[in-house]
Amino acid sequence: MRRLACILTVALAACGSPQEQLAERALRSGAEAYDAGDFARADSLFALAPFDGRAVFNSGNSAFELLRWSDAILRYRDAAQLDSTRDRQASFLFNLGAAHLAEARDADTSMFRLRRELGGLRIGSGDIAQDVSTYVLRDSLRKELARLESVIDSSYLAAINWNKSALRVDQKDDDARLNLVIAQRALAARQRAKDARDNRDKDKEKDMALSARARLIIEQADSLVEQYRFAPALDLMQKGLREDPSLKQKEEYMKKLETVMKAANAS
């Protein structure tokens, strides 16, 4: 991806309106901070002219450099609304695509880290409080993984759409074309992986389908849990497992019940 560059004016408008002069000062001082690598200060300086599309765009670049993808995306959108100049529109659209692409890749990296953390969690340490804490952490990590999955898919799709829009404005933009291909290939690869997982899950569901009896036992156990009767619920599930092998897929639920029961007894 090409380096994000700030938009400046040709010369300082000394005779312009107070608003125009404010915008020029914000652009100049912000660009100096940006070029010096002080992106946080540049962001605050560009923010002095929220009515100027160039300053808002530059603020988006500062947010991008600070890895604040959502802020960058919002500011590029605002800039596109404030300034309809064709050449600038091309930059706005390209940067929108670049920010969504960066957001997707960042989320993908976070998912890899969270999966490793999730895989390293172990239940059955002998410390009841620790096991309860591990269950809570595991559930939290799984929810965050599901959220990141959604972010990645939607961000790649947005990157595709914005880069297509950029190419409609400037067909010679090779950087937009490259980012478009990267996003398309990444999204296609994710879809292939999802299809493969879905097929494996379907095969597993066929092998591990819960019987009608097993589903009834789970409903009864859930009802007992709602009454905080953890021991009877666990006893019901364990007896059911001996009679119905399909309940084996609920072993994790039983382990969680056992841990919660021990924690309740200890308190």
Q: What is the pLDDT of residues 170-192, one digit of tens each?
A: 999 999 999 999 999 999 999 98
What is the reported pTM?
0.73
**139-165: pLDDT as tens digits:** 999 999 999 999 999 999 999 999 999
pLDDT of residue 121: 87
Rounded CA-CA distance 181/15 in Å is 46
Q: Where are the alpha helices (DSSP H) in the chain?
A: 18-35, 39-46, 53-65, 69-82, 86-119, 128-169, 174-207, 212-226, 230-243, 251-266
Q: 58, 42 in Cβ contact below 8 A? A: yes
Confidence of residue 259 (pLDDT cuts 50, 70, 90): confident
Rounded CA-CA distance 161/156 in Å is 9
Percent of the chain's residues with pLDDT above 90: 54
Give the residue extent of every domain in the chain: 18-83, 89-207, 212-266
**200-235: pLDDT as tens digits:** 766 565 545 778 888 889 889 988 888 888 889 989
pLDDT of residue 1: 46
pLDDT of residue 10: 46
**77-122: pLDDT as tens digits:** 999 999 988 888 999 999 999 999 999 999 999 999 999 998 898 8
Confidence of residue 52 (pLDDT cuts 50, 70, 90): very high
Q: 74 exposed, middle or buried (CB, 10 Å; 0-12, 13-18, 19+)?
A: middle
Angle between helices 212-226 and 251-266 (to 10 degrees): 20
The token pair that represents 23 in the structure block: 């915008």
Is the pLDDT at 126 greater than 80? The verdict is: no
In the CATH scheme, what is the code of domain 18-83?
Answer: 1.25.40.10
Name the residue type at position 184.
Answer: Q
Given CA atoms 241, 246, 247, 251 in this order, what sign does their dihedral have?
A: positive
Between residues 142 and 246, the one the model is more confident about: 142
